Structure 1
């Protein structure tokens, strides 16, 4: 592929310029290659995997004077190494690299004034950037990776650092289970007024459920927090349009302890992971809301697919404004009509296919004529038609409603790690039982981690907290 030819070793690929760039620092830390290791294993690309493994073993070095995002590095690089360790048959090289990286990332905790970690951490020094702000997703999307590392190494320190975050969040005041999207690191409190499942908050809610599932449903605290949050989502964020009755999740602003609130009918593509969240929750938590939650997951995913199918290119914009009047469903912001190859909609299609068996189904208000696989195939064809670059790679596009679309010369790592992986798994033969949801939990970067029961030596307070 173009990346191997033009940008090998760089964090990101620019297909038009036929070169690469690094996300943090001059040397990079293997975002593209490490993020893609499990894809190569899953797809059986043995020669490409061998080349990538050799680069990780012999070239990748985390001893750099570079500031990196704790969140992005954890979900992409640490998660990628841990998944590769398991899927490779426990190749110890990956665990050694993962442990080295995690120890360096712990500086984000050790340099913080509270249990909330700082947003950026230097990989080989104790110097820090004087920046207090962070967000809910950045502090609440570390737990799967660090807990699994404690399980593998027997060292509870990784578990303890990330669990203290969750214990503190559990103590803070929330609005019907919903946490505000911004946080103050120094005070370990929420800040701002925004609540939502888009950027800044999304994967926190994802990890409430997945923490419960990863440790084999042993930590009841996360089941409670998830159920409280889902109740709040349905009460305050879930709406539907008047024209076509499309279900969507908007943004909520919470002022003065809830004395004043404001709803904004804006749904980001990032929020489209919620279809998968509702579907997975309905499958794994058998209660009186399971059927209702599955229906919500289906309808939200239908809305997200419509974000694709109503555009000239068949690709979704970054977000949609929904019309609260009786005529028409959507309003668009011309400044946010670009597509960056995001995975959330195909992630939800994959989860719904795994949960339901991809059957056609009829609801009172809708006749869904296409199965989840057929929806996924339409989306894939649109990527092929408008995002694929002839000389190799795929690019972001500027305006999803313009043909031919202008390109933004970038191919992010999640295109390989998530979007293509979920599309591949969507069309995989179900008889192969590849990465069963009974055995694996996918982190927010689509890296599969095996479900485990934590030992007494590593498990923390969440074990007992209800």
Structure 2
């Protein structure tokens, strides 16, 4: 039997190199991955990978030569106001510092704090609310530099699913998702569509999927839009896991949702399904609507719902806060789909599906059984013998500025749906608008209190603050487009002059007022994202050309984002779509490369030093043995 040849003895140096080589290789690989991931933004995903969307030609800037000198001056004045508001926000959140990725800008500007101590921002949504909300307004105002800057920032990385903070589902949908869809609808920029689809997917995978019932969660940590498991997304997923485990045991706010909070997704998700060809978005909203419709009474759906059971907490309902956008979408979703009831033919249009008919029937029932009896008040607010006005109210006595959306909604429905009561509905819309206008006129600042009560032929403010709200100017815009009554433009101009006189902050941005009857009482230190998204946008369009963003071609979301109606002949999915290919990963900054090289050099040097010391220690020990 032949014995195997003996192996050559291995020196310590060879042994060390073999053993340490694997360790060094692992260290190099780990460090290289760390550097690569550090060079990416906080969350980098396949945001632009193989996205398919309908091509849209960009909307051209308005032709101001069509306007009278006065109207052109007013349009340009509002455009300057938009630029001033955006500058305040952009300067405060340091947008330039986010261009490398990894930082989500703050949600709101606090303009007073900015001018005093530099604490200039407020976070409550944790997704850059103003950045997303303002982008289509910048486009409409033809502020090209500002618009391009905003698009560049919010498409550099997956900002729409990055924050590990819990966010408000409804507010995220109307500001983040709606803002992206509105800007895409105007510009046709495919990157905005890709970001919007990722935002919608994170909703469907987050608060919708996490709910034990059909009612989505009011808060949730959003799911990343890709399946990546790098160390950053692992942190996000781990935090989400802890949040889901603890929310039902630590708080009660996750157990309840408002009607507006879960019933106002229909327009945005219908638009997304139409332009992507993916019907799961529309179906998600339709299923929710069909569920809650079963609980309506006299056209009013309960306002507060239990998320765990999917049932209402009580049968109380209203048209104001917590419910308003649900009723707004009863008309706007069918308008987007081209659905209406043809009185002459006594039938619904061919575009009407069952859910569209149900939307219109519920709206008509609300209009017939509840609106005029519970939400319209006629009275004087200037003492005996004063002129009577018609005001939108909650059950006859309480005024809420949010209800000033009703004139615009009534006018929009009358214009698009027609019917035997069209003239009466338009007349009521104008009366309600005049009532809202009167509450602006009687205040010393020319701006309306937020809430109040009618009593003894007087209007008594409950909350006398003005929060830069848009509902009144939204209705001004809608009724002007249908009536061409230039006195409505004059009313809008009064609002602009009041904003410039009392709310404009020299350093940038605008602030609300603590007391509309005493402008010197101080400011409300907040410029909400809706101020640029809605208030200034509707004022801009009020003075722009009448065919600029026509109500025949666009439907505005509850946050004022214009969604282009897709004509029937354009819905053929066989037509070419724009295709977005994966973009290359973000480059590793040179500073990180240098630091990485230094770290590798230090580790390599340390290993070599230890190796040399051990080698000579062993060599000296062997030499010592030989001499013995």
TM superposition score category, shorter chain reference? 0.7 to 0.9
Question: Residues 12-161 of structure 1 correspond to what in structure 2 (within 5 A)?
Answer: 12-18=108-114, 19-24=120-125, 28-59=126-157, 61=159, 62-89=161-188, 91-106=189-204, 107-124=206-223, 125=240, 127-128=243-244, 129-130=247-248, 131-161=254-284
1:341 and 2:341 are equivalent in the alignment:
no
Describe the SS at the equivalent of 1:287: coil
Q: What corresponds to 2:290 in structure 1?
A: 167
Cα deviation code 1:364-392 (max 9, x no counterpart): xxxxxxx1111111111111111111221
How far 1:195 moved relative to its partner? 2.5
Distance in 1, Cα, partners of 2:572 & 2:358: 17
Native 8 Å contact 2:273 2:279 kept in 1: yes
Describe the SS at the equivalent of 1:16: helix
1:445 and 2:559 are equivalent in the alignment:
yes
How far 1:237 moved relative to its partner? 2.2
Distance in 2, Cα, partners of 1:137 & 1:452: 26
How far 1:193 moved relative to its partner? 5.0
Question: Residues 53-452 of structure 1 correspond to what in structure 2 (within 5 A)?
Answer: 53-59=151-157, 61=159, 62-89=161-188, 91-106=189-204, 107-124=206-223, 125=240, 127-128=243-244, 129-130=247-248, 131-172=254-295, 174-192=296-314, 194-217=316-339, 218=352, 219-231=356-368, 232-241=370-379, 244-251=387-394, 263=395, 265-323=397-455, 325=456, 328-333=457-462, 336-358=463-485, 371-430=487-546, 433-452=547-566
How far 1:453 moved relative to its partner? 6.0
How far 1:75 moved relative to its partner? 0.6
How far 1:245 moved relative to its partner? 2.6
Native 8 Å contact 1:183 1:189 kept in 2: yes
Q: TM-score, length-normalised on structure 1? A: 0.87
Describe the SS at the equivalent of 1:246: strand
Distance in 2, Cα, partners of 1:278 & 1:384: 30
Q: What corresponds to 1:3 in structure 2?
A: 89
Distance in 1, Cα, partners of 2:297 & 2:184: 39
Native 8 Å contact 1:216 1:452 kept in 2: no
Q: TM-score, length-normalised on structure 2? A: 0.65
Distance in 1, Cα, partners of 2:406 & 2:146: 33
Which entry has the higher C-alpha Rg, 1 or 2?
2
Native 8 Å contact 1:115 1:161 kept in 2: no
Distance in 2, Cα, partners of 1:282 & 1:418: 22
Q: What corresponds to 2:583 in structure 1?
A: none
Q: Which moved more, 1:91-100 or 1:265-274?
A: 91-100
Distance in 2, Cα, partners of 1:186 & 1:307: 41
Distance in 2, Cα, partners of 1:140 & 1:300: 25
Distance in 2, Cα, partners of 1:314 & 1:69: 33
Distance in 1, Cα, partners of 2:536 & 2:260: 23
Native 8 Å contact 1:178 1:233 kept in 2: no
Q: Which moved more, 1:227-236 or 1:125-134?
A: 125-134
Query: What are structure 2's unaligned runs of at least 5 residues?
Result: 1-86, 96-104, 115-119, 224-239, 249-253, 340-351, 381-385, 574-628
Query: What are structure 1's unaligned runs of at least 5 residues?
Result: 252-262, 360-370, 458-466
Native 8 Å contact 1:179 1:190 kept in 2: no
Total equivalences in the alignment: 423
Q: What corresponds to 2:345 in structure 1?
A: none
Describe the SS at the equivalent of 2:113: coil
Higher helix share: 2
Which gives a bigger RCO, structure 1 or 2 (Cα 8 Å, sep 6+)? 2
